[in-house]
Amino acid sequence: MGSGHPQQIGGFGGGCGPTSKVAIVGPHKEPGWVTCHFSQCGVTIADVDTSAGDCGNILAAVGGFAIENNLVAAEAGDKTRVKVESLNTGARYEIDVPASSVGVQYMGSFCVPGVPGPAAPVRVATHGVAGAQTGRLLPTGQAEELFDLGEGLVVRASIIDFARALVMVDATDITPHFGYSSLQEVTLQRANCDHALCSALEKLRLQASQKMGMGDCTGKDAPKLALVAPLEAEGRQGLACRYFVNPGRSEMHPTIAMTAAQAVGAASLLHGSVAMRALARLPQADSGTDGASFTFEIQHEKGNFPVSIGTTDAKDAEPMQAEQFATGLPTTGLYVTTVMPIAQGSAFLKGSN
C-alpha cells in the first residue's frame, strides 16, 4: 500500500485514510457466500489496523469482485445477490450487484455525492450490525454522556455501536469554542489544519473509548467520532454531519463512511440522543413499511447521503432500551452506492526480485 510515506508513492494507497484500505476476500462454506477481512492501512505510519471494524464502501465492491473471481456464480436476470460474512465483526451483508450470466455491469446513471461520475447502483443490506464492535448497541447504556474537556468546556455526546462504534458530538457545544459559527464552516481543509479542534476531539474520543469498554484507543482508528447538527434547510428528515477518520491525526473524512451513516441513522431513533436532538423532530417511518423502516439524509460537505434503518418492535427489548427506542429498535441497515474497477494484476513487494 505504500504506507510510511505521506503520498504512499511506493504502493496503491491514495495518501489518506479513506483510500488506504484492503479487503481480503475468500470462499465460504455456503454457496452464494464469501468471507471478507478488512484492514485499515496507515499512511505516514507503516502499520495495519484491524480493529476498525468493517468498511461499508469496501464491502460494496466485494460483490462484484466475488463474481469476477468465480467465488459466487452470477444468477439469471439483471442482478446477483452476494452474501458476505465479515471476519472482523461477524456481521452479515447482502450485496445486490448489477450482474447477469454475461458479467458484472459497472456502467450506469446513479450518482453518489463526492464520487466523480455516475455508475450502476449497488444495494447493500446489513444484518447483525448492532453491537458490531463492542457487543452492545449502547455501549454505556445511556442516550447521552457529558465529557469535561477542561477550561470550562463540557460537551454532550452520544455513543452507539451500530455497524460502527461511533461517538457523536453535539457540534453546537464545541465548534463555537474554536471560532466556527456553524457546522457548515467545518470544512475538510479547515478542520485538518485546526489542530486545536482536533486535539479537543481526540481528548473526547480517548475518554469515550474508555467509557465504552474499548480501552486506550491511542494510535487506533476505532472508535470513530462525528460532529452532528441540525440541517440548515428545514423539511427533510436528516442532520448535518462531519465525520473524522481520526482526530488524533487531524484527519476528517471528505464525506461520511457507510458504516458511520448507519450509526448516525440508528442514533436518530434514540430518544435523548444528540442525533435525535439534531434531527429536531420525531422520526417518521417510510411509507408502506408499517413503521419498520426509517430513512435519514446525512448531510456532509459534498452533499446528502440517504441511509435506511430497519427496526423491530422495541417492546421485546430490555425495559430501558424499550423506552430509549420507543420508535423502534434498530436492527438492519440499507444503503446504495457505486463501485468501479480500476486495475487488475500483480503487486510487487518492496525489495522483492
> Is the model more confident about 322 or about 145?
145
Query: Which single residue is written with the C-alpha cell 447504556?
Result: 141
Question: Domain 145-333 belongs to what architecture?
Answer: Roll (3.10)
- Predicted TM-score (pTM) of the model is 0.92
CATH of domain 17-127: 3.10.310.10
Identical topology for domains 17-127 and 145-333: yes
Query: Which single residue is written with the C-alpha cell 460494496?
Result: 60
User: Which among 14, 31, 52 has a CA at the least distance from the CA of 223?
Assistant: 52
CA distance 327 to 272: 12
Residue 246: phi and psi, rounded to 5, are -165, 105
- pLDDT of 351 higher than 80: no
Q: How confident is the model at residue 352 (pLDDT cuts 50, 70, 90)?
A: low
User: Which among 278, 269, 272 has a CA at the least distance from the CA of 239?
Assistant: 278
pLDDT in tens, 124-153: 999 999 999 999 999 999 999 999 999 889
Q: Average pLDDT of 202-228?
A: 95
Q: Average pLDDT of 217-242?
A: 91
Task: Give pLDDT, residue 300.
Answer: 95
User: Which among 338, 342, 340, 341 has a CA at the least distance from the CA of 113?
Assistant: 338
User: Which among 96, 107, 86, 91 has a CA at the least distance from the CA of 63?
Assistant: 96
CA distance 211 to 213: 6
Domain range list for the chain: 17-127, 145-333
User: Which among 97, 104, 36 has a CA at the least distance from the CA of 68?
Assistant: 104
Angle, CA 226 vertex, CA 16 and CA 221 arms, to 5°: 45
pLDDT in tens, 22-73: 999 999 999 999 999 999 898 988 989 888 789 999 999 999 999 999 999 9
Report whether the peptide linkage leading into residue 223 is cis, meaning its omega lies within 30 degrees of zero. Answer: yes
Q: Average pLDDT of 153-178?
A: 97
CB contact set of 271 (below 8 Å; sequence gap of 6+): 143, 323, 324, 325, 326, 327
CA distance 65 to 8: 24
DSSP letters spanning 63-127: HHHHHHTTSSPPPSSS-EEEEEEETTT--EEEEEESEETTEE----SB--TTSSS-B-EEEEEEE
User: Three-state SS across 161-225?
Assistant: EECCEEEEEEHHHHHHHHCCCCHHHCCHHHHHHCHHHHHHHHHHHHHHHHHCCCCCCCCCCCCEE
